[in-house]
Amino acid sequence: MRRPRALCATHPEPDLWFSGSKSQERAALICRRCPLRPACLAHAVERPEVWGVWGGTTEEQRRALVEGTGRRFVEPAERATPVLRRDRDGDLVAVR
Ligand code: SF4
């Protein structure tokens, strides 16, 4: 059985997920069709991921979700720039 693929991993403009707000709106729309969206969003809220679009949400939207659970959302400026790489399946993964 073929594993579902992240749409951001095969999109011709992967920077959409990490650039300015207009691009992030486009990325979030693409995420709505992604088969990995539920798991991606759960990961992004649990970690929490503070950069870019994850699971169809922007940083602002995840801040609201995280703070709604009583946890503190660490602002991007307080965190080190994430280092991303692609795994064997071409999916983006944070290595720190
Ligand atoms: S950020 Fe998450 S939901 Fe959006 S396309 Fe990538 S894997 Fe799918």
Instruction: Indicate the DSSP class of residue 54.
Output: B
Indicate whether residue 52 lines ligand 1 (CB < 6 A).
no
Q: Which helix (H) or strand (E) holds 68?
A: helix 59-68
Regarding the beta carbon of 16 and ligand 1, being less than 6 Å apart is answered no
Angle at 64 between CA 68 and CA 9, to 5 degrees: 120
What are the Cα distances from residue 78, in Å, to 7, 43, 73, 74, 82? 29, 20, 10, 6, 12
Instruction: State whether the beta carbon of 31 lies less than 6 angstroms from ligand 1.
Output: yes
Q: Residue 84 pairs with which residues in a beta bridge?
A: 94
Q: Which two tokens stand for residue 18?
A: 């990490």
- Residue whose Cα lies nearest atom 2 of ligand 1: it is 55
Report the first-to-last Cα separation within the chain, whole angstroms. Answer: 31
Give the global pTM: 0.75
Per-residue pLDDT 10s for the chain (96 aa) are: 777 799 999 999 989 998 676 789 999 999 999 999 999 999 999 888 888 999 999 988 999 998 888 888 877 666 666 677 788 887 777 775
State the pLDDT at residue 6. 94
Q: Cα-flanking dihedrals φ and ψ of residue 59, to 5°?
A: -55, -45
